[in-house]
Chain A
Amino acid sequence: KAGVTQTPRYLIKTRGQQVTLSCSPISGHRSVSWYQQTPGQGLQFLFEYFSETQRNKGNFPGRFSGRQFSNSRSEMNVSTLELGDSALYLCASRLGGTNTEAFFGQGTRLTVV
Chain B
Amino acid sequence: TQLLEQSPQFLSIQEGENLTVYCNSSSVFSSLQWYRQEPGEGPVLLVTVVTGGEVKKLKRLTFQFGDARKDSSLHITAAQPGDTGLYLCAGAPMNYGGSQGNLIFGKGTKLSVKP
**Neighbouring A residues of B42 by C-beta, 8 Å:** 4, 6, 90, 104-107
A48 within 8 A of B: yes
Considering only CB atoms, which chain B residue lies closest to A48 in the complex? B101
Q: Which residues of B contact A35 (CB under 8 A)?
A: 105
A residues within 8 A CB of B18? none
A49 nearest in chain B by CB position: B101
B106: chain A residues within 8 A (beta carbon): 42
Give the chain A neighbours of B35 by CB distance below 8 A.
104
Any chain A CB within 8 A of the CB of B97? yes
**Interface hits, A55-73 → B, CB 8 Å:** 55-56, 58
Q: Is the CB of B41 within 8 A of A107?
A: yes
Minimum CB distance partner of B43 in chain A: A104
Contact with A along B61-99 (1 / 0, CB 8 A): 000000000000000000000000000101010001111
Shortest C-beta distance, B22 to chain A (Å), equals 16
Interface residues of A in 15-45 (CB under 8 A from B): 31, 33, 35, 42-43, 45
Are A100 and B102 in contact, CB atoms less than 8 angstroms apart? no
Q: Are A42 and B45 in contact (CB under 8 A)?
A: no
Report, nearest first, the 10 A-B pairs whose CB atoms are least far apart. Answer: A48-B101, A104-B42, A45-B102, A100-B92, A43-B105, A42-B107, A98-B97, A56-B101, A100-B31, A106-B42
Q: List 24 A-B contacts (CB under 8 A).
A: A33-B101, A33-B102, A35-B105, A43-B88, A43-B90, A43-B105, A45-B102, A45-B103, A48-B101, A48-B102, A56-B99, A56-B101, A90-B43, A94-B101, A97-B97, A98-B30, A98-B96, A98-B98, A100-B103, A102-B90, A102-B103, A104-B43, A106-B41, A107-B42
Having A100-B31, A101-B45, one finds 11 other A-B pairs with CB under 8 Å, namely A42-B88, A42-B105, A43-B43, A48-B101, A50-B101, A58-B102, A97-B97, A105-B42, A107-B40, A107-B41, A109-B40
Residues in chain B within 8 A of chain A (CB atoms): 30-31, 33, 35, 40-45, 48, 88, 90, 92, 96-103, 105-108
